[in-house]
Amino acid sequence: MKKMMALAMAVVMTMAALTGCGGSGSGDSANGDVPVIGISQYGQHASLDNCREGFLLGLEESGLVEGVDYVIDYQNAGFDDTIAQQIAQNFSANNVALMCGIATNSATACYAAAEDKNIPVIFTAITDPVKAKLDSGNITGTSDKLPIEEQLKLIRALQPDAKTIGILYTTSEPNSVSAVEEYQAKAPEYGFTIEAIGVMQQSEVLQAADTMISKGVDCMTNLTDNNVVGVLPSILEKTNDAGIPVYGSEIEQVKIGCIASAGIEYVALGKRTGEMAAKILKGEATAEEMPYETITDSEIYYNPDVLTAMGLTLPEDIAAEAIDVTAE
C-alpha cells in the first residue's frame, strides 16, 4: 500500500511539474494561444524603464489589450551580456511572437537568437542601429540618437569660457563609440576639445571618473551609455565635490543631478516603438518592411538646484523655453 501511495504521489508531482514548465510562446502560454512578447531590458535605470513604460503604452493606445491580444514576458539582464544572451535564447526556445530589445546589447542578443526562427525583433534606445548592424532583416525599432549639436550649444551658452569637455564611455557599446566620434568631429566648431576615456565594464567607471577629474576638464557630458548611467549618482558625487558640471543626455539624468540637457523624452521613444510592434502583431506590416525611425524632437531640461550649486546661470532666451525638472 505504501509503495502504491508513493507511486501515485510521484505521478501527481510529475504532472504538476510538466504543467508548470509550459513555454511562453505564441501557442502554449498560460493564456492559450495569446501571442507572447518577450521584452529584454539590458539593465535597470530610469531611461530604459521609461522606454519599457512607453512601449506598453504604445501597445495599449494602438488598441491592443494585454491578456487578450498579447502577454508580456519581461526579463532584465542586469547589464550582463551573458544574461542578455540567455534571455534571448529562452525567448527563442519558447517561440515568442515578438522580441523587444531595450538597449543595444539586449537587441543584438535578441536578433541573434531570433534569426534562425525568423521571429520579428523590435528595438528601442539604440543610438546607431547601422553601427550595431541592426538595420536590416526581420528587425526594426526606434533610435535615440543624441542631439549633439544642441548639447554643444547648450554647454557653450552656460559656460562661455569652457575649453574641454570630458566623456566617459564603454568601448564595446556601438552607441557610445558613435556618439564620441560625433562629439570629437563637431566640438571644434564650438571651440571645445573632447577628453574621452573608455572603459570595458561598469566596475571601471568610477576610477575613470577620478582620472577625468584629475585632468581638469571644464565639464563633462554624459551619453546614454548603460555602464556609465548605471553608476551616475556616484559619478555626480565626485564631480560635485570637484565643482565640475555634468550635462545629461535626457531628463532623468538631469533629475538625479546633472546640470542640464538637450535631450529626447524616453517614454515617447518607447511609445513609438510600441506602436510599431502593434502593427506587427496586427499583421499590418512586418518588421522587415518598416525602416527604423530616429526620434529627433528634443527639449532643454535643467536642474536649478545644480545650476545654483555650480554658480551658473541659464541665459534668458534658453530659460524661456527650458523645462525645470524640479517643477514636475
Average pLDDT over residues 179-203: 96
**Same fold for the pair 36-144+266-294 and 148-263+298-324:** yes
Confidence of residue 328 (pLDDT cuts 50, 70, 90): low
Average pLDDT over residues 77-83: 94
Tell me which of 19-28, 105-114, 172-181 is least confident: 19-28
Task: Give per-residue pLDDT as tens, 258-290.
Answer: 999 998 889 999 999 999 999 999 999 999 999
What are the domain boundaries of the chain? 36-144+266-294, 148-263+298-324
Q: How many helices (H) and strands (E) does the chain have?
A: 13, 13
Confidence of residue 32 (pLDDT cuts 50, 70, 90): low
Among the listed residues 207, 291, 292, 295, the one whose alpha carbon sits nearest the alpha carbon of residue 250: 295
Average pLDDT over residues 113-128: 93
Average pLDDT over residues 210-215: 98
d(CA 108, CA 88): 9
> In 78-101, which positions are buried (b, 16+ CB within 10 angstroms) versus exposed (e)?
ebbeebbbbbbebbbebbbbbbbb
Structure-model confidence comparison of residues 319 and 296, the more confident one: 319
Q: Could you give phi then psi for residue 285, rounded to 5 degrees?
A: -160, 160
Q: What CATH topology corresponds to 148-263+298-324?
A: Rossmann fold (3.40.50)
| Cα radius of gyration (the chain) | 23
Reading across the β-sheet that carries 299-302, which strands appear in turn?
Answer: 260-263, 299-302, 323-324
Confidence of residue 127 (pLDDT cuts 50, 70, 90): confident
Q: Percentage of residues in the chain with pLDDT exceeding 70?
A: 90
User: Given this model, what pLDDT does residue 179 score?
Assistant: 92
Q: What SS3 class is residue 48?
A: helix
- For residue 168, is pLDDT > 60? yes
d(CA 259, CA 154): 11
- For residue 38, is pLDDT > 80? yes
Confidence of residue 46 (pLDDT cuts 50, 70, 90): confident
- For residue 22, is pLDDT > 50? no
User: Given this model, what pLDDT does residue 157 score?
Assistant: 97
User: What is the full DSSP assignment across 210-241?
Assistant: HHHHHTT-SEEE--S-HHHHTTHHHHHHHHHH
d(CA 18, CA 6): 18
Among the listed residues 215, 213, 197, the one whose alpha carbon sits nearest the alpha carbon of residue 246: 213
Mean pLDDT, the chain, rounded, equals 89
Q: What CATH topology corresponds to 36-144+266-294?
A: Rossmann fold (3.40.50)
